[in-house]
A and B are shown apart, each in its own frame.
Chain A
Amino acid sequence: MTRVIQPALLFAALVLGLLAPGWLELFTIYEFTAYLIMAVLALSLAFVWGKGGIMCLGQAAFFGLGAYAWAVGAINFGPGLAALAISVAVPAAFAAVLGYFMFYGRINDIYIGVITLAVTLILFNLINSTSGPQYRIGSALLGGFNGMTGIPTLAWPNGMPLDPAEIFRLTVIVIVASIVAITLYLKTTPGKTAIAVRENEVRAELLGYNVAQSKLITFTLGGALAGLGGCLFANWGAFVSPTIFSLVQSAQIIIWVIVGGRGTLIGPILGCIALQWATTKLGTQQVVQVNLVLGLVLAFFVLVVPQGIVPMVTGLLRRNSRTGPKAEAEQNA
């Protein structure tokens, strides 16, 4: 049954996402595009942490690198496929190099969290200190703490840039395609190995699986997906600044994933959208501080619903289906 329901829901979400811009106001499209772009970032961490068991606290680093790589690529080579490829390749390569030293150096989970977070903050400081005309890549000025403005938007082959509705639809397609791709990947031997490594590294190794290599593949793929999200972000706002690498940004992603349910792919996406929407609404009032509320939400979920919303709901539904009238009738028979 699940085999039919899940693809059907995904297809329905795709159709709804493609049609939605026709009904929504421009501001709403713009607002929800931002939520969906962040959902790509949440999905990347759901894959790396939830499926691969790698506690990466620096997923924002790959997102930021993807955004900056798009900006530099689009300014130098035009807002086409070459810049798109660069915006995915740069964070993927960065993740591969960082991952190589971490995983082949046999660094354990806690330190991976610390290192990835530290690397993100180093990037924050590094990009912050690139003010001045000497900090340029080709004709792209990095802009230091002011960031990069006027970034060209992805264009069709005829040179027409994508409008906000098209960027919304593109983001929906990226999310659905990523969920399908990750689901299919997890059915392959490297995908199953990633999950096995999450469950028990020692057993995976004793069965002959190269644990370091498996983690490196997962980490790199997650970095590439986060980079793609960053590329969409730079396209959405035509602006990118060092705050993309900030501690707040890194912490938010973890909260989205924990609240949505880190063992699932859909949970972190829903958690991300719901929390961003709530954050925006809370931001319109002056009574409580938004980050304080987010902290309370995180504490509540860690203590009361540690598995997250989606696993909790699916668990309850499964239990109800077992104890429903049909099951009772079967038991009484």
Chain B
Amino acid sequence: MSGEIILQARGLGISFGGVDAVKAVDFELRQGELRCLIGPNGAGKTTFFRLLSGQYTPTRGAVTFRGKPLAGLKPWQIARLGIGIKTQVPSLFEGLSVQENIDMAARRRLRGKAVAAVVADVLDHIGLGDLRHRPCGELAHGQRQWVELGQMLAMKPAVALLDEPAAGMTHQESLRTVQIIRDITQHSAVIVVEHDMDFIRLIGDRVTVFERGAVIAEGSFTEISKDPQVRAAYLGRKENADA
């Protein structure tokens, strides 16, 4: 892999009431990389994202961003350092328009006319220019996902964490989402959590597989799809995995 390591987790873990949701995960993301994170429901992918973005405080291990430890930082401080997140369930300013939602993301790093220019550009990218004045609370699910991805485009974080960006989308919408994610990768290293294997195949670069809070495999899509442990995790054939 080329590019310097931008985000690193070492022995990262968190427990809830004695249950390890994420246990001792080692993870590295390099500059410009597009990484997919897959795993069955409850594997700990979203919890892992929340640890990276500071929404959860790890009970063990540490996260470093550009070599700087993130321990003790609040989510807004981590976001300012350059880690953006698109949450699993779209989290938007519901009463504000599409344009205002994008504006708030651009405004964090820009001032004056540059904000309006970026907003116009992002609206163009996500294809919601006609709905720019529509409150986000009135949008369809897929459109809401695009607004949140649009916020990532406007925010231009060094690392973008995208949690299930194509969930609940039609095939056509998924194809458009792939394009938006590719646009995000122009400026950001990206980690995508997704269940849809066809979607992973479309954007797939390097894939990390989670199961029961731990990384069980890492490699190209072809490599991990042949991995017996991964097949067992997805298909539930424990005996094959043990073999």
A199: interface (CB < 8 Å): yes
Decide: B107 and A203 in contact? CB cutoff 8 A. no
Among listed B93-101, B176-184, B186-194, B219-227, interface-contacting one: B93-101
B76: interface (CB < 8 Å): yes
Q: Assuming the A-B contacts A196-B96, A199-B96, are A208 and B108 also in contact, with contact meaning beta carbons closer than 8 angstroms in the complex?
A: yes
A209: interface (CB < 8 Å): yes
Decide: A200 and B79 in contact? CB cutoff 8 A. no
Decide: A200 and B76 in contact? CB cutoff 8 A. no
Docked Cα-Cα span, A202 to B91, in Å, equals 8
Docked Cα-Cα span, A208 to B105, in Å, equals 9
B84: interface (CB < 8 Å): yes
Docked Cα-Cα span, A28 to B138, in Å, equals 47
Contacts of B95 in A (CB 8 A): 199
Decide: A211 and B104 in contact? CB cutoff 8 A. no
Docked Cα-Cα span, A207 to B92, in Å, equals 11
- Size of the B side of the interface (Cβ < 8 Å), in residues, is 25
Q: Assuming the A-B contacts A199-B95, A200-B93, A206-B87, are A192 and B76 also in contact, with contact meaning beta carbons closer than 8 angstroms in the complex?
A: no
Query: Number of A-B pairs whose CB atoms are under 8 Å?
Result: 58
Docked Cα-Cα span, A204 to B155, in Å, equals 12
Decide: A192 and B107 in contact? CB cutoff 8 A. yes
Of residues 207 through 226 on chain A, the ones whose CB sits less than 8 Å from some CB of chain B are 207-211
B103: interface (CB < 8 Å): yes
| Chain B residue at smallest Cβ distance from A188 | B107
| Chain A residue at smallest Cβ distance from B96 | A199
Q: Assuming the A-B contacts A192-B103, A196-B104, are A208 and B80 also in contact, with contact meaning beta carbons closer than 8 angstroms in the complex?
A: yes
Within the complex, the shortest CB–CB distance from A321 to chain B, in Å, comes to 15
Decide: B75 and A205 in contact? CB cutoff 8 A. yes
Contacts of A203 in B (CB 8 A): 91-93
Contacts of B91 in A (CB 8 A): 200, 202-203, 206
Contacts of B80 in A (CB 8 A): 208
Decide: A200 and B94 in contact? CB cutoff 8 A. yes
B76, B79, B96, B103: residue with the most chain A Cβ atoms closer than 10 Å: B76
Within the complex, the shortest CB–CB distance from A83 to chain B, in Å, comes to 38
- Size of the A side of the interface (Cβ < 8 Å), in residues, is 17
Docked Cα-Cα span, A333 to B171, in Å, equals 36
Contacts of B151 in A (CB 8 A): 207
Within the complex, the shortest CB–CB distance from A306 to chain B, in Å, comes to 14
A200, A202, A203, A210: residue with the most chain B Cβ atoms closer than 10 Å: A203
Contacts of A202 in B (CB 8 A): 87, 91
| Chain A residue at smallest Cβ distance from B85 | A206
Decide: A204 and B104 in contact? CB cutoff 8 A. yes
Contacts of A285 in B (CB 8 A): none
Docked Cα-Cα span, A200 to B84, in Å, equals 16
B53: interface (CB < 8 Å): yes
Within the complex, the shortest CB–CB distance from B145 to chain A, in Å, comes to 14
Residue in A196, A205, A208 whose CB lies within 8 Å of B93:
A196
Docked Cα-Cα span, A218 to B79, in Å, equals 22
Q: Assuming the A-B contacts A192-B107, A196-B104, are A205 and B94 also in contact, with contact meaning beta carbons closer than 8 angstroms in the complex?
A: no
Docked Cα-Cα span, A200 to B95, in Å, equals 9
Of residues 106 through 120 on chain B, the ones whose CB sits less than 8 Å from some CB of chain A are 107-108, 111
Within the complex, the shortest CB–CB distance from B233 to chain A, in Å, comes to 29
Q: A204-B76, A206-B76 are in contact. List 8 more A-B contacts (CB 8 A).
A: A200-B92, A200-B94, A202-B91, A204-B93, A206-B84, A206-B85, A208-B76, A211-B76
9 contacts between A and B (CB under 8 A): A195-B93, A200-B92, A200-B93, A206-B76, A206-B84, A207-B108, A207-B151, A208-B76, A211-B76
Interface residues of B (CB under 8 A from A): 53, 55, 74-76, 79-80, 84-85, 87, 91-96, 100, 103-105, 107-108, 111, 151, 155
